[in-house]
């Protein structure tokens, strides 16, 4: 068969398989776009959405986040394969470690992964302090169960080594927004030591909440100067115990150097 005949047949085949669907180019980071189809069987004139395309960074953000893994991109692993991580999950009844479950993709607020917060469970996230002990702005997002208010999840910023100083991130609204997420925020005028995040909840048996987008950023002029709000009662005692557990799980530089035997 001659080349001209092959090209003619290829054009006929493409014409027969044509579907009247227009897909826009991939959007810029942080945006999304939808495509609709008016192919056979539809009513035409802007029919139902066929697909939604979104662009997300697999590295989380922002780049200046003082938390080691604010978007849980590096802390979610297979059950039984957990190692030294930035986030840890603990059982409130036993103080024992728990498997940190995660969700992916469009269920999360940002990035590719987010944490699943369950009943009788707390999250402990590791971070560092701001430059020269300056102020920091802290924020986080949680998606409570349907019908629950934002105060079902409690978020606090702690000194990583003691519970004497802590600041509670207050919900910016009493109820979730249209997408089902709650925002929490607080500021500290001075943060001379490294900061960690402590997440607790009043979830009932079988209830879960998603937790994502935890950010602590240095700020020369914080949004607000929040007074110290120490954890109370059992929460403070538990946080103190878990701090020791986290240090035991990550003994960086904590072991004495091995001394080689003397040569006879």
Q: What is the pLDDT of residues 19-68, one digit of tens each?
A: 444 444 444 445 454 454 444 444 445 678 888 777 777 777 788 899 98
CATH homologous superfamily of 87-249 equals Galactose-binding domain-like (2.60.120.260)
State whether residue 105 is helix, strand or coil.
Answer: helix
CB 136 within 8 A of CB 70: no
Tell me the C-alpha distance between 218 and 92, whole Å: 31
Nearest Cα neighbor of 169 from 132, 207, 142, 202 is 142
Q: Give the global pTM.
A: 0.73
Least confident of 8-22, 48-62, 76-90, 218-232: 8-22
Contacts of 174 (CB under 8 A, 6+ apart): 149, 150, 151
pLDDT tens-digit readout, 127-146: 887 777 778 889 999 999 99
Domains in the chain: boundaries: 19-55, 87-249
CB 169 within 8 A of CB 142: no
C-alpha dihedral over 99, 103, 104, 105, to 10 degrees?
Answer: -160
Nearest Cα neighbor of 243 from 127, 128, 161, 164 is 161
């Amino acid at each position: 068969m001659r080349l001209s005949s092959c090209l003619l047949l290829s054009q006929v085949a493409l014409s027969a398989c044509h579907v009247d669907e227009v897909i826009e180019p991939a959007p810029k980071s942080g945006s999304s776009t939808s495509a609709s189809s008016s192919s056979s069987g539809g009513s035409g004139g802007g029919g139902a959405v066929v697909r939604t395309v979104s662009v997300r960074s697999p590295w989380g953000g922002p780049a200046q986040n003082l938390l080691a893994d604010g978007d849980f991109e590096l802390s979610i692993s297979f059950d039984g394969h957990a190692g030294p991580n930035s986030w840890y999950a603990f059982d409130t009844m036993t103080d024992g470690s728990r498997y940190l479950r995660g969700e992916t993709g469009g269920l999360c607020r940002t990035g590719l992964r987010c944490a699943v917060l369950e009943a009788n469970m707390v999250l402990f996230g590791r971070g560092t302090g701001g430059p020269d002990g300056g102020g920091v702005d802290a924020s986080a997002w949680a998606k409570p169960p349907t019908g629950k208010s934002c105060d079902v999840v409690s978020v606090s910023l702690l000194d990583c080594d003691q519970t004497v100083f802590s600041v509670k991130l207050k919900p910016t609204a009493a109820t979730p927004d249209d997408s089902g997420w709650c925002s929490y925020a607080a500021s500290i005028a001075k943060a001379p030591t490294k900061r960690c995040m402590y997440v607790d909840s009043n979830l009932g048996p079988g209830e879960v909440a998603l937790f994502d987008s935890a950010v602590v950023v240095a700020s020369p002029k914080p949004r607000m100067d929040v007074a110290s709000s120490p954890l109370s009662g059992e929460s403070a005692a538990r946080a103190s115990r878990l701090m020791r557990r986290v240090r035991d799980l990550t003994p960086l530089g904590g072991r004495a150097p091995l001394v080689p035997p003397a040569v006879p």
